[in-house]
Amino acid sequence: MALRNNVIGAINFVAVLLSIPIIGAGIWLTTEPADSCVKILQWPIIILGVLIFVVALAGFIGAFWRIPMLLVFYLIAMLVLIVLLVSLVVFTYAVTLRGRGNIEPNRSYLEYRMDDFSIWLRRRVRSSSKWDGIRSCLRSSNICADLDQQYRTAQEFFNAHLTQIQVID
């Protein structure tokens, strides 16, 4: 039993240490320019890092000092975190599943259309308030800033291997 508690404590100690860079990344995002597209991720990343930190700390303390109530909290909280993260992955996969891109003649890249994606995502993106924010975010980023200088002719652009973001912009 003591070896099992030591293993649980060691795993949670590592999780506590790994949650610190997650929290730091969220805090670092707060220092980014106001027009940065990644700004919307700062609070979810900070909250996720703090949740992992608290749960792992409870597991570490519960295992190290053999406190059963903390271990029960740790077990339930970790189960909830895992279920939430798996739900997020499944939701993201379901929303973007059909967006594979279409082959167009004389194009090296795939053409993406909104009709290829889920109805929920189409409604969210097509609403004028959301699309204006998405468009300004894409235009203010450096993702496509050098496309004009990189391709001198339209055919060079059509033959280029572009990312999905570059195709949309």
CB atoms within 10 A of CB 156: 11
pLDDT tens digits for range 81-125: 999 999 999 998 888 877 677 787 877 777 777 787 888 888 887
CB burial of 62-83 (b: ≥16 within 10 Å; e: otherwise) equals: bbbeeeeebbebbeebbeeeee
Query: Do residues 20 and 53 lie in contact, with contact meaning Cβ atoms separated by under 8 Å?
Result: yes
Q: Are the beta carbons of 118 and 94 closer than 8 angstroms?
A: yes
Q: pTM of the prediction? A: 0.70
Percent of the chain's residues with pLDDT above 90: 38
Each residue of 116-159: pLDDT tens digit?
788 888 888 778 777 777 777 766 666 556 555 666 666 776 67
